[in-house]
Amino acid sequence: MVDTILLDGCIRAPRRAFVFLVTLIAAAGSGSSIAAASDASGPRWSYAGESGPAHWGDLDAANETCVKGLSQSPVDLAQTQPAAFTPLSFQYRSQRLEAVNNGHGVHVLSPPGSALLVRGDAYDLEEFNFHVPGEHGFNGVTAEAEIHLVHRDRQGGYVIVAVPVRAGERENRILSRILEYLPMRGGEQVRHRQVGINPIFLLPTDHSYFRYVGSLVTPPCTEPVLWFVMKEALEVSPWQIQRIAQAVGANARPLQPLNGRPVFSLFRQ
């Protein structure tokens, strides 16, 4: 049974894939207008024009960090420092599907019970969301999409795992299950009691990653946020990327300066 509730408020894409992605975003006109809608809790912001990323700090004093912060995300992962590999232990549980389109993107909510363990420290999974195109750069090139798995620690600090997504011949079954019931309009929330998902299947096989300290990628651009960006992309079908693009439009923040921050590469040998 589906409950629909209206709320108030490595990785180098070939040229044909890039053209394909541009076509998708252009075709997702309704998604782009959705992304320009405002949250009920604050002033309007978007990913283009006078309310776009360059102006986020001017829209609300609470967004000052978007302009003045020195540790903003996303970044280009071009120059990195090798570090000893520390495994990321994903202790994710199966859950019922609950997703909301807040007008800036689609967020799949996660109930208590799933966590990321790093050196014995637990970070609870709160949600995961989608960005088209990918936000982080790999020597200046972004993936066709990106999934962000958002965690919080006991002190309320953010820890985010970013998974680049590329189009290929393989269709991801769990992603297909999510996309079948994806809320396509801003303000729409869907709960499906009979659809089970597990975000563990949205991770690549190789858990090598980049690590750096950054920020949230949407207003108020809170700092600091600990980022783990997966080295390997998740392969999905072109149809799956198209479906995401139709729901979220173009919702990637431009790359931000590193300002001297180190980026570490922790690769499994």
Tokens of 175: 């992603």
Give the active site residues.
Answer: 104
End-to-end Cα, the chain, rounded Å:
46
What HEC string does the chain produce?
CEEEEECCCCCCCCHHHHHHHHHHHHHCHHHHHHHCCCCCCCCCCCCCHHHCHHHHHHHCHHHCHHHHCCCCCCCECCCCEECCCCCCEEECCCEEEEEEECCCCEEEECCCCCEEEECCEEEEEEEEEEECCCCCEECCEECCEEEEEEEECCCCCEEEEEEEEEECCCCCHHHHHHHHCCCCCCCEEEEEEEEEECHHHHCCCCCCEEEEEECCCCCCCCCCEEEEEECCCEEECHHHHHHHHHHHCCCCCCCCCCCCCCCEEECCC
